[in-house]
Chain A
């Protein structure tokens, strides 16, 4: 079945460092791809999304490009801040587009 594999954490970086969190997927058809973020003590919220190949989702300085040829949707940010410390989940809609499947999550910690 459809699945999402993402980089294991935790990831610890210094402020202003470059961030990449890898995400690859297995799916039949053409899923939509998402990154969700869960800040400490809060619920999940959508960070960005892409609905077709070569689309780039972006928000709050984060970007991810839907790469069909490599079945990837890596999350990047050029200069992270302490406030970016959170758990990041890569996700996709399943082949029936009736539900969203989540990866295992990557905990990111940013040192001042």
Chain B
């Protein structure tokens, strides 16, 4: 298993600003994933972040809008850039511990005014 801590747990931001979300895992993992869960919706994968390589983005998501860092095997950040109200969502970090099972953080609830 894995224990995942995300910060901040929630934030209210102004349009046009950027916010960086941190994800810390209590063990070393190869694959980390960032998901978005819009209000009342399912989870949509934003990108896969592997240590030592560029993140791989899903269709509809670009690095300029959602830059990701993965400096080591226990930590990653996701930045939501130049925010608009449409970016209001819960952003979730998850990891695969090579068991085929994803473990999730509790999410970062972002509200953009």
Contacts and interface: CB of A to CB of B under 8 A. Distances in A.
Contacts of B42: 89, 102-105
Interface stretch (A20-28, A40-48, A67-75): A40-48
A51 interface: yes
Given A98-B48, A104-B42, A34 B33 contact: no
Contacts of B45: 99-101
A27 to B, nearest CB: 14
Interface residues of B, number: 17
A43 B100 contact: no
B33 to A, nearest CB: 7
A95 interface: no
B26 to A, nearest CB: 15
Interface residues of A, number: 21
Contacts of B48: 98-99
Interface string B36-67: 00000111010010000000000000000000
Given A89-B43, A98-B48, A99-B48, A43 B101 contact: no
B25 interface: no
A105 B42 CA distance: 6
Contacts of B41: 104-105
B3 to A, nearest CB: 11
A100 B103 CA distance: 11
A32 B100 contact: yes
Interface of A: 32, 34, 36, 42-46, 49, 51, 89, 93, 97-105
Given A44-B94, A49-B100, A102-B43, 16 more contacts: A32-B100, A34-B101, A42-B106, A43-B106, A43-B107, A44-B43, A44-B102, A45-B104, A46-B101, A89-B42, A98-B31, A99-B45, A100-B33, A101-B45, A103-B42, A104-B41
26 contacts: A34-B101, A36-B102, A43-B92, A43-B105, A43-B107, A44-B92, A44-B94, A44-B102, A44-B104, A46-B101, A46-B102, A46-B103, A89-B43, A98-B31, A98-B48, A99-B33, A99-B45, A100-B33, A100-B45, A100-B102, A101-B45, A102-B43, A103-B42, A104-B41, A104-B42, A105-B41
